[in-house]
Chain A
Amino acid sequence: MRAPRDLLAAALTSLALGAGAVAGCGDEDTTAGPGPSGGVGGGGASPPQAFTPAAGGLRRLLAHQYVASVRYLLGDAAAAAAEGAGLLPTDQPLNGYLAIGAAETPPSLTHPELWDLTAEKVAVAVVADPSRLAAFVPCVTAGPFDDACYDDLAADFGRMLFRRPATSEDRAWVTGIAKKAREWASGDFMTGIAYALRAMLQAPSFLYLAEIGEPDADVVSPDGPRRKLGPHELASRLSFFLVDATPDEELLDAADAKKLDEAGLRAQAERLVAKPEAKSAVHRRFREFLYLAEALSAQKSPETYPDFDDNVRAAMVEEAERLLEDLFFVRDADARELFTADYTFVNDALAKIYGVSAPPAGAWKKVSWPAEQARAGFLASGAFLARASHAVTTSPTRRGVFIKDRVLCETVPPPDPDVNPSLPQPKPGEPPKTTKELVQAHQKEQRCKDCHAKFDPFGFAYEHFDAIGRYRTTDAGEPVDSTGEIEGFGKFASPRDVANILLADEKKRLSHCLMLHYFRGSLGHLETKGEEPALEKLHAAFEGASFSLKELLVETTVNPAFLYVAEQGSMP
Chain B
Amino acid sequence: MKKRAISLTVLLLFVFSILAGCGQKPAENNAPAPNGEKAKLEIWVYDEFYKDGDNSPIAQATKKFNESNPDIEVTFVPTPYGSSSYRDKYIQAANGGGGPDVILSDNVWVPQLAAMNLINPLTEKLGDKKNEFFQGTIDAATWNNDIYGVPFHADIMVLFYNKTAFKNAGLDPEKPPTTWEEFRSAAKALTKDGKYGFGLLGGWGGSFEWLPWFWQNGGEILDASGKKAAFNNEAGMEATEFFLNLLTKDGVVPKAAFTWKSWDELTAGFATQTIAMAEGMDVLLQKLDSQKVDFEWGVAPLPGKKTQAATLGGGHWVINKNSKNVDAAYKWIDFISSKDNLGMMDAYKRTSARIDADSQEIIKNDARKQVFFKAMEYARPRPIIAEWTQIDYDTIQPAFMSVIHEGADIKAAMNKAAEQVDKIMAGE
Co-complex (A, B): no
